[in-house]
Amino acid sequence: MIKYFIYCRKSSEDEEKQVLSIEAQLAELRDFAKQNNLFIVREFTESKTAKEPGREVFNFMLSEIEKGNASGILAWNPDRLARNSIDGGRIIYLVDTGKIQSLKFPTFWFEATPQGKFMLSVAFGQAKYYTDNLRENILRGIRQKLRRGELPAKAPLGYFNEPRLRTIEPDKKTFNKVKEVLLAFATGEYTLTKIQSKMFSLGLVGKDGKPLHLSTIQGILTNPFYYGMFLYQGELYQGSHKPMISKKLFDKIQEALKQNSRPHKKRKEKQFLFLGFARCGECGYMITPKDISKKVVWSLFIIAVLIKAKLKNVHKTAFCEKKP
């Protein structure tokens, strides 16, 4: 009896929203297996696109087939198995070598014959063609949005994506708050940590309700979207959205960021007279001060101690680095 693996895949990308969910696929395939008396030994599910090779669950399933733990696969449609030439070729090769003896699909007929393998190749090719064609349509749509001055991505903080018009509009709840933050930082009186606290007090927080990460705040402060431009794949485009600030104010913010990133001068350590001048006569450790705020008193006192003790009993004093 042929042992079968059930494989269900659902891409999280928009173009595959019409495909049955994993739960629905499982229900359909279990019914199909029951009706056709198929011996199912394991079920595999995965939420990942098949446009490119590298699916962990899919690769593990094929490795199990190569080990002989099963010799059949049950899936909803061939495009659930592969939408790229490498994964499709692996399936056909396993059929050629006899590792896969049977492929079952409720929506597609297959037999391990020359005609069946040819039709399977056609099905994989159609799945790849659909993906490639869809990608071209998406890229064409992105180019059109760029020509219209529309950012083809999620709106930054202070704006929202208007689903009906497919534009980016100011968010009434956060627009003025973000503007207040930008104006405050442009004064040069705020560090990133202080502006983080200000944003938190204004209710500008992350999805978890916690303060925004400093890297996120820096991204906001350097985003040209707020003065009417936007970056897409390294190129700057003129936007058609409502600017939040002027270019002049944006430049002030960048200057304030530069000032923030400059290293602060470290305080010079206090120097002591006769530091490293004498060693303990018994242990050989350097004699060092204990009260750095009284260097003059210390210097005079250590000279008096050295003369009087002649470096013999200094080891018993509190000035030697090595304690008795």
Distances (CA, A) of 109 to 35, 77, 103, 180, 252: 16, 10, 9, 63, 66
What 8-state DSSP symbol labels residue 224? G
| Model pLDDT, residue 69 | 95
Q: For residues 274 and 3, which has the higher predicted lDDT (pLDDT)?
A: 3
Q: Is the pLDDT of residue 255 over 80?
A: yes
**pTM higher than 0.75, yes or no?**
no
- pLDDT score, position 178: 95
**What's residue 16's pLDDT?**
46
Q: Bigger pLDDT: 313 or 116? A: 116
299 contacts: CB under 8 Å, gap ≥ 6: 272, 273, 274
Domains and CATH numbers, the chain: 3-132 (3.40.50.1390), 159-261 (3.90.1750.20), 268-324 (no CATH)
Spatial separation of the C-alpha atoms in residues 251 and 17, rounded to whole Å: 43
Mean pLDDT of 187-208: 92
Res 324: pLDDT: 46
Residues ≥6 apart with Cβ < 8 Å to 253? 182, 185, 186, 221, 222
